[in-house]
Every structure is written in structure tokens, then in C-alpha cells.
């Protein structure tokens, strides 16, 4: 079989559910050894690890809160001890704490920025340090290292009632691009993925009932809600040498949500 990530060591944060779980599983199937990060549900992370191993891949579960500097460092240490090096980081962990702006608490604001933006900073910084220290391994990849930042269509689409979340994803976008500009000459490729509406636990109420799904589909020209595997296939490509010349870009995987479907002539 063609294994686009053969020999690569990849750490995926927030990998015990949703998009992260699908990416971890797809990475394992593509030949990578996978670190399955989780914050609070070891049994779900172990289930993903077992699924990857069952399919013939290599994986380990890694507990860490991505907003904690110490826990992120310890996680990379454990990953490095087990797999020898790190080639890919997928900074995927993310949360929502929705509130009308006037009601939003400082804690809701801070928690979302801490996990979604600072968490990506801490993980990306640790990955870059290790990429630079270990150097390239041309037998597994042309790049010295790769980082994929999980963003959202809300890095460009304003989102009332979710000001903290949209601010965090807008921040992810320019952190990703600025970092990409800074480390490209070291052979490190940093890119982002902006999912549209994907069926995961984070947005269950938006697709759970037929009425909710119908309303959601008005925003999606392609006519279906996305699946975690839609994002996982994009992540495999961005982590592989097939995308070797892709540097500092956001790949929108959104069924056309960013095409402003409200402007269609025939609705």
C-alpha cells in the first residue's frame, strides 16, 4: 500500500474525539506513529490508540492540557522517548464557551484564548524547538518538520455570540502565517486547516435534529455537513511530501461555506 506518512512521528492534540480522532486514525493508517493527546478522557484516547494498533499502526496516548506550559513540555518529552523524534504536530485542541457579548465573562474569554490560541503557541513552540534540535531526516520527509494549525472558517467569518472563539481563530491564522514566515528557511512548513461545519461533539446542537441540519445546510453550497474524515484526508496531505511546496497557507475544507451562499441568485 502507498503510505504517504511512512516513518513519520506525529503528535495530534485533542485526538480523543471528533476531528482530532479522525486525524490520528488516518495518520496511523498512512504509516505514521501517532501520539494521541487527550486532556480528560483516557478511555477514549486508549480506544483510538487500540484502533490504530488494530489496523497495524503505532500509537500511544498522551495526557496533557495544551494550555499548560509544563504539561506540553512533558508530553513532547514522553512522545520523544517513545518514538525518538517528532516530525509532525497537529495543533487541533479547541473549545467553545459561547455567550452574548455583554454577558461574556472574563473566564469564558480567557479559557477559549488559553486553549485555542495559547495552546497552539505552546505546542508549536515545543515542536519548533525539537525540529531545530533534531534536524531533518530525508529518509522520511523533505521538510525538517511540519505543523498543522486547526483553525476554522471563523478565522475570516465573523461570528456573533462567539466573539471569543472567532478572535482565537483569527489569532491562529496570523500566528500560523507569521510562524511559517519565520521558520520556512529552516525547512519547517506551517499551515492551517479551516473546517466549515463538521459533525463532532463541539457543535452537536447545530446538526443533531433535522430542523437544525436544514438550517445549517443553507450555509453550505455543497449540500452536506462535513465529516471528520473530510478534514483528516486534508491533514494527511498537508503532513505529507505531496504538499511539500505548500507553506503558510490556510486550506479551507468547508463545502463552500466561505463562498457567501446568502448571495446566490436562486437561494
Taking CB under 6 A as the criterion, which residues in 30-69 touch ligand NAD? Answer: 38-39, 65-67
Query: What 3 state SS string does the chain have?
Result: CCCCCCCCEEEECCCCCHHHHHHHHHHHHCCCEEEEEECCCHHHHHHHHHHHHHCCCEEEEEECCCCCHHHHHHHHHHHHHHHCCCCEEEECCCCCCCCCHHHCCHHHHHHHHHHHHHHHHHHHHHHHHHHHHHCCCCCCCCCCEEEEEECCHHHCCCCCCCHHHHHHHHHHHHHHHHHHHHHHHHCEEEEEEEECCECCHHHHHHHCCHHHHHHHHCCCCCCCCECHHHHHHHHHHHHCHHHCCCCCCEEEECCCHHHCHHHCCCC
Among 26, 49, 59, 115, binds ligand NAD (CB under 6 A): 115
The span from the CA of 65 to the CA of 13, in Å, is 9
Among 9, 11, 12, 14, binds ligand NAD (CB under 6 A): 14
Rule CB under 6 A: say whether 192 interacts with ligand NAD. no
User: Which range of residues in 73-81, 130-138, 196-204, 210-218 is near ligand NAD by CB under 6 A?
Assistant: 196-204
Rule CB under 6 A: say whether 202 interacts with ligand NAD. yes
- Nearer of residues 134 and 258 to ligand NAD, judged by Cβ: 258
Which among 80, 190, 87, 91 is positioned nearest to 144, based on CA atoms?
87
User: Which range of residues in 3-11, 51-59, 200-208, 243-251 is near ligand NAD by CB under 6 A?
Assistant: 200-208
- Nearer of residues 20 and 144 to ligand NAD, judged by Cβ: 20
Among 34, 195, 230, 234, binds ligand NAD (CB under 6 A): 195
Tell me the closest approach of the beta carbon of residue 93 to ligand NAD, in angstroms: 3
Tell me the closest approach of the beta carbon of residue 193 to ligand NAD, in angstroms: 8
The span from the CA of 88 to the CA of 182, in Å, is 17
Burial of 264: CB neighbours in 10 Å, binned 0-12, 13-18, 19+: exposed
- Nearer of residues 11 and 140 to ligand NAD, judged by Cβ: 11
Rule CB under 6 A: say whether 162 interacts with ligand NAD. no
The span from the CA of 8 to the CA of 213, in Å, is 38
Rule CB under 6 A: say whether 146 interacts with ligand NAD. no
Positions annotated as catalytic residues are: 165
Rule CB under 6 A: say whether 20 interacts with ligand NAD. yes
Tell me the closest approach of the beta carbon of residue 30 to ligand NAD, in angstroms: 19
Rule CB under 6 A: say whether 120 interacts with ligand NAD. no
Among 54, 201, 210, 267, binds ligand NAD (CB under 6 A): 201
Tell me the closest approach of the beta carbon of residue 35 to ligand NAD, in angstroms: 12
Q: Interface with ligand NAD by CB under 6 A: which residues? A: 13-14, 16-20, 38-39, 65-67, 92-95, 115, 119, 150, 152, 195, 197-198, 200-203
Amino acid at each position: 500500500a502507498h503510505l504517504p506518512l511512512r516513518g513519520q512521528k506525529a503528535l495530534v492534540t485533542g485526538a480523543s474525539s471528533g476531528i482530532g480522532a479522525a486525524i490520528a486514525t488516518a495518520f496511523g493508517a498512512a504509516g505514521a506513529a501517532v501520539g494521541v493527546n487527550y486532556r480528560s478522557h483516557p478511555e477514549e484516547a486508549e480506544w483510538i490508540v487500540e484502533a490504530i494498533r488494530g489496523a497495524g499502526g503505532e500509537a500511544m496516548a498522551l495526557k496533557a492540557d495544551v494550555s499548560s506550559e509544563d504539561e506540553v513540555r512533558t508530553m513532547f518529552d514522553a512522545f520523544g522517548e517513545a518514538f525518538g523524534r517528532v516530525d509532525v504536530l497537529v495543533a487541533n485542541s479547541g473549545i467553545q464557551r459561547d455567550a452574548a457579548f455583554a454577558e461574556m465573562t472574563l473566564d469564558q474569554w480567557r479559557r477559549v484564548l488559553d486553549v485555542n490560541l495559547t495552546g497552539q503557541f505552546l505546542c508549536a513552540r515545543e515542536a519548533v524547538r525539537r525540529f531545530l534540535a533534531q534536524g531533518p531526516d530525508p529518509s522520511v520527509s523533505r521538510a525538517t518538520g511540519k505543523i498543522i494549525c486547526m483553525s476554522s472558517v471563523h478565522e475570516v467569518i465573523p461570528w456573533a455570540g462567539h466573539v471569543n472563539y472567532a478572535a482565537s481563530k483569527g489569532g491562529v491564522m496570523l500566528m500560523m502565517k507569521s510562524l511559517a514566515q519565520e521558520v520556512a528557511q529552516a525547512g519547517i512548513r506551517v499551515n492551517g486547516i479551516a473546517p466549515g461545519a463538521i459533525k463532532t461533539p463541539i457543535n452537536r446542537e447545530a446538526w443533531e435534529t433535522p430542523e437544525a441540519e436544514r438550517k445549517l445546510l443553507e450555509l453550505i453550497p455543497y449540500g452536506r455537513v462535513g465529516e471528520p474524515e473530510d478534514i483528516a484526508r486534508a491533514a494527511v496531505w498537508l503532513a505529507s511530501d505531496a504538499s511539500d511546496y505548500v507553506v503558510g497557507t490556510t486550506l479551507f475544507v468547508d463545502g463552500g461555506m466561505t463562498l457567501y451562499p446568502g448571495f446566490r441568485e436562486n437561494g
